Amino acid sequence: HGMDVKSSSSGRTSIDLTEKATQLLSRCRALSDRTAHHLKRSAAETDDIGMEAKRLSVSIRELKESVKAEPPHSDGRGDEAMDLLDKAERILRGEGAGGDMRKLMPGKRSPALLRLMLGNSTQPVAMRREESLKMKAEYYRFRSHVGWMFTIVPSVLLVFVYRANAVEANKEAYSLTPAVMCAVHMFLVWMMYAYTALALRENVLKLNGSDIRPWWIHHHYWSIVSTILLLTLPVDSRAVNAFLAKLLFWLSCQGLVILLQNHYQRRRLYTRIALGKSNVMDVVGGESAGGMGQLYLLYPFLFGLQFLQFSIGAEILLANYKSILDFTGYLDMEPHEADLRGSRGVFYCGAMFALMAMCNFKHTVLTIIQKRRVAKQRRHERRTA
């Protein structure tokens, strides 16, 4: 009798477990169907919004061209129409409640670096405002990390480089030059990672509506190429060692500027987003800066850094241009003591350094002019409101 009771109880337990499992299976299927319906509906709605955003963008552009083609009116109606169109365009670009709607437009192609690293079909687009804010906050955290690394590590390495050079000049032992150069090259490898990561992150931000100028992203590509070139040069080259000392000093200065720039830009940008005056995905790019007040504060640092970069590049060019004119070693191995390979590599690094400095200066000035124009336009809107 006891065995029958146990068997009956075990049977009921098995039936209860089966029923619960069946219920869970049904709930999972229902949730899956609900999810599929939601995704299908969301995709259709997203496509509709993207198409409408594209039509609006085209209409705004065409109407702007029509207004510009009209002869100027004495009553100022043309200026009023242009102001309204500018306001509509800014809402489309992200100053409205829905954020930047351009990222939903069909046929938008990913930047070249993202296609190279992630493939043609990957679209890292943040659909929700909270995701966009987290993406941008993570970008600023990484940029601050890069700024601290650029400030501290090159300064420490520079001390050891100067010590090693002084010990070798006095022909003393324990200069630690091999260890120091190994550390410098490890930092160059990290620099290559940092520039690549910054370029990737800024490409993603641009895909999500950031108005960062293309040069500030291309600037990272040039930095990656120059870093790779430095890693291929002989570590015992006199020309390479001379350039590395100057590069480490400049990187320390750049790190300080990045930290100062990041601090002011982040505070101002979050305030402007809260007031609805700025796009969620706007970022500070490269050597550009935030509002006009911050620009006045950062003027000497930005232009001083660019002048120092150009000076180092020009000095390296003048010191090593003769190695380019010497045809020894182009088709055969040159004598080791000639240091032609190191001098030629440093010459090209100096050329890229000087070119980046000039382009940085140009686009910083263009950023200032653009921000002045926008500020003037906003003041005009407030007066006419």
Instruction: For 175-197, write each residue's pLDDT tens digit.
Output: 888 899 999 999 999 999 999 99
Question: Residues 332, 379: one domain?
Answer: yes
Phi first, then psi, for residue 114 (nearest 5°) are: -65, -40
pLDDT at 72 over 60: yes
| pLDDT for position 74 | 54
Mean pLDDT of the region 132-155? 89
| pLDDT for position 286 | 45
Contact 99, 280 (CB under 8 A): yes
In this predicted model, what pLDDT tens digit does every residue of 319-338 receive, in sequence order? 998 888 887 777 667 776 77
Of 99, 114, 149, the last residue of a domain is 99
Question: Residues 91, 224: one domain?
Answer: no
| pLDDT for position 196 | 94
| pLDDT for position 283 | 52
Mean pLDDT of the region 2-6? 49
Residue 228 lies in a domain: yes
Question: Residues 93, 212: one domain?
Answer: no
The C-alpha atoms of residue 156 and residue 153 are separated, in whole angstroms, by: 5
Candidate from 8-12, 88-92, 141-145 with smallest mean pLDDT:
8-12
pLDDT at 146 over 90: yes
CA proximity to 322, closest of 346, 355, 357, 352: 346
Question: Residues 93, 160: one domain?
Answer: no
Question: Residues 65, 149: one domain?
Answer: no
Q: What is the sign, positive or negative, of the torsion defined by CA atoms of 37, 42, 47, 51?
A: positive
- Looking at per-residue pLDDT, the higher value among 280 and 38 belongs to 38
pLDDT at 201 over 60: yes
Mean pLDDT of the region 6-14? 60
Residue 319: partners with Cβ closer than 8 Å, 6 or more residues away: 239, 242
Question: Residues 311, 190: one domain?
Answer: yes
In this predicted model, what pLDDT tens digit does every residue of 292-306 receive, in sequence order? 455 567 778 889 999
Question: Residues 159, 236: one domain?
Answer: yes
pLDDT at 70 over 80: no
Question: Residues 276, 320: one domain?
Answer: yes
| pLDDT for position 118 | 80
pLDDT at 42 over 60: yes
Residue 372: partners with Cβ closer than 8 Å, 6 or more residues away: 292
Question: Residues 135, 190: one domain?
Answer: yes
pLDDT at 73 over 70: no
Contact 191, 225 (CB under 8 A): no
Q: What angle do CA 140, 267, 147 make, to 5 degrees?
A: 35
| pLDDT for position 316 | 94
Residue 109 lies in a domain: no
The C-alpha atoms of residue 247 and residue 309 are separated, in whole angstroms, by: 9
Number of domains in the chain: 2
Residue 60 lies in a domain: yes
Mean pLDDT of the region 261-288? 59
| pLDDT for position 39 | 83
Share the mean pLDDT of the chain. Answer: 81
Give the largest Cα separation in the chain, rounded: 108
| pLDDT for position 34 | 92
DSSP secondary-structure letter at 332?
S
Residue 31 lies in a domain: yes
Contact 219, 196 (CB under 8 A): no
Task: Determine the structural domain holding residue 27 and report its residue range.
Answer: 13-99
Of 99, 120, 150, the last residue of a domain is 99
Residue 64: partners with Cβ closer than 8 Å, 6 or more residues away: 82, 85
Residue 336 lies in a domain: yes
Residue 329 Rama label (left phi>0; alpha psi -120 to 50; beta): left
CA proximity to 86, closest of 288, 295, 382, 381: 381
Mean pLDDT of the region 127-135? 74
Question: Residues 203, 347: one domain?
Answer: yes
**pTM of the predicted protein model:** 0.79
Instruction: State the pLDDT confidence band at 4, using cuts at 50, 70 and 90.
Output: low
Query: What does the block give as tokens for 375?
Result: 């500020």
The C-alpha atoms of residue 208 and residue 94 are separated, in whole angstroms, by: 10
Residue 362 lies in a domain: yes
Question: Residues 270, 140: one domain?
Answer: yes
Residue 124 lies in a domain: no
Residue 118 lies in a domain: no
- Looking at per-residue pLDDT, the higher value among 168 and 217 belongs to 217
CA proximity to 375, closest of 276, 254, 291, 286: 291
Of 99, 114, 140, the last residue of a domain is 99
pLDDT at 276 over 80: no
Question: Residues 199, 59: one domain?
Answer: no
